[in-house]
């Protein structure tokens, strides 16, 4: 089983959506038993909250149900998960600072490194933006999650 943790700043927009998109893709492919998917935030500010209501609306229009409750990244996550995927370079830097050892640091990757259609350096935070920002995040995450799944299954 491959265990993946998606991470953004507050775990209410990007990482929770990445979790929802990835779960949807895995289910469509009949691979639910081969993956464990979760998400977390660098900060605990939104702990226990559902994803941002605007993000849930945009995601639902595409068939994604976002039901994850926000939680912060914990030290044990570095031991439990095989891949820890940050949404931007600040998330990556924060994750590297939190990693308990160089070995666990190797598990950290950038979400957009898995994109195959959309060329971008990071998944922008849509929180302070308008509707098109949430749609763009969904576009990036659909591309990146599909690319991630391909990268994990092409060798099998």
| Active-site residue set | 8, 14, 125
**Spatial separation of the C-alpha atoms in residues 7 and 46, rounded to whole Å:** 13
Nearest of 99, 150, 95, 92 to residue 121 by alpha carbon: 92
3-class secondary structure per residue, 1-18: CEEEEEEECCCCCHHHHH
Q: 3-state SS of the chain: helix, strand, coil percent to 5?
A: 45, 15, 40
What residues form DSSP beta bridges with 39?
Answer: 6
Q: Which residues contact 53 (CB under 8 A, 6 or more apart)?
A: none
């Amino acid at each position: 089983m491959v265990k993946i943790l998606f991470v953004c700043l507050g775990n209410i927009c990007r990482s929770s959506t990445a979790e929802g998109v990835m779960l949807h893709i895995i289910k469509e492919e009949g691979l639910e038993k081969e993956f464990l998917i979760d998400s977390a935030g660098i900060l605990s500010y939104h702990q226990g909250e559902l994803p941002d209501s605007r993000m849930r609306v945009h995601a639902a229009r595409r068939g994604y149900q976002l039901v994850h409750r926000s939680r912060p990244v914990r030290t044990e996550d570095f031991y439990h998960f095989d891949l820890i995927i940050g949404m931007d370079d600040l998330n990556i830097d924060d994750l590297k600072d939190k990693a308990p050892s160089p070995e666990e640091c190797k598990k950290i990757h950038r979400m957009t490194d898995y994109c195959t259609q959309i060329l971008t350096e990071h998944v922008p935070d849509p929180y302070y933006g308008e509707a098109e920002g949430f749609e763009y995040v969904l576009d990036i995450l659909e591309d990146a999650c599909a690319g991630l799944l391909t990268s994990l299954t092409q060798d099998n």
